[in-house]
Amino acid sequence: MTDSTPKETLDVFYRADTDDGSVAAFFPTMPFEDNGNYITAYARVGQHSAGSWEYVAEQTRPATPDEYAELHAELTRIYEECELIPDNRIPDIIFTGSDFEFHKDDCPTPLNLDLLDCFTPGADATESVNYVLETHYVVGDDSTMRDYLRGYGAWEDSELQDRRTNMQRLIWLTGCAFAEDRPAYFCTY
């Protein structure tokens, strides 16, 4: 990789256990197994393991930047080939996997309404799309998002290199699907 080539990004969110306060990192775009019930987790003691969505939702709270600083520094060394993008929220949308299907009935009402606002026939939807990205925690695997968009045949590979622009496109396409009362479906080819 040359200095001009951007690093692939890796989304990570940090949570603290509500019982003992121990902090763990969770990688929402790195499934631990194929069934989707577990994502890759990392703790200073135990290191890589399976993290269940149920545990994250029911037995953790957002970790503060001070709480996760040492763990983030450790992970930055381990994943030096990637740019880690830290957060402490549970993701609302995760663009990952060879087949991604997202139903409006599966998302909370505020997110659903914000995605529907992205459907603006004949008008620029940039403001609504950016609002979704600023308000909701959206993550995705860079290469997978490029593959999803490549399937539309609307963009050249050189136009699919910017992570934020690709997320904007996927959010817009999701809003259009919801407005048409169908699930958003993306796949890799």
Q: What is the DSSP string of 123-146?
A: S--HHHHHHHHHHS-EEE-HHHHH
Which pLDDT value is given to residue 1?
A: 47
Q: Beta-carbon neighbour count of residue 120 at 10 Å?
A: 16
**CA 33 to chain CA mean position, Å:** 17
Which pLDDT value is given to residue 3?
A: 57
C-alpha span between 146 and 143 (Å, rounded) = 5
Average pLDDT taken over every residue of the chain: 91
C-alpha span between 186 and 145 (Å, rounded) = 9
Q: Using N-to-C axis directions, what is the helix angle for 163-179 and 126-135, rounded to 10°?
A: 110
C-alpha span between 149 and 155 (Å, rounded) = 7
Using an 8 Å Cβ cutoff, are 42 and 117 in contact? no
C-alpha span between 59 and 36 (Å, rounded) = 19
- pLDDT tens readout for residues 153-178: 999 999 999 999 999 999 999 999 99
Which pLDDT value is given to residue 112?
A: 92
Which pLDDT value is given to residue 8?
A: 87
- pLDDT tens readout for residues 22-47: 999 999 998 887 666 789 999 988 88
Low-confidence stretches of the chain (pLDDT < 50) are 1
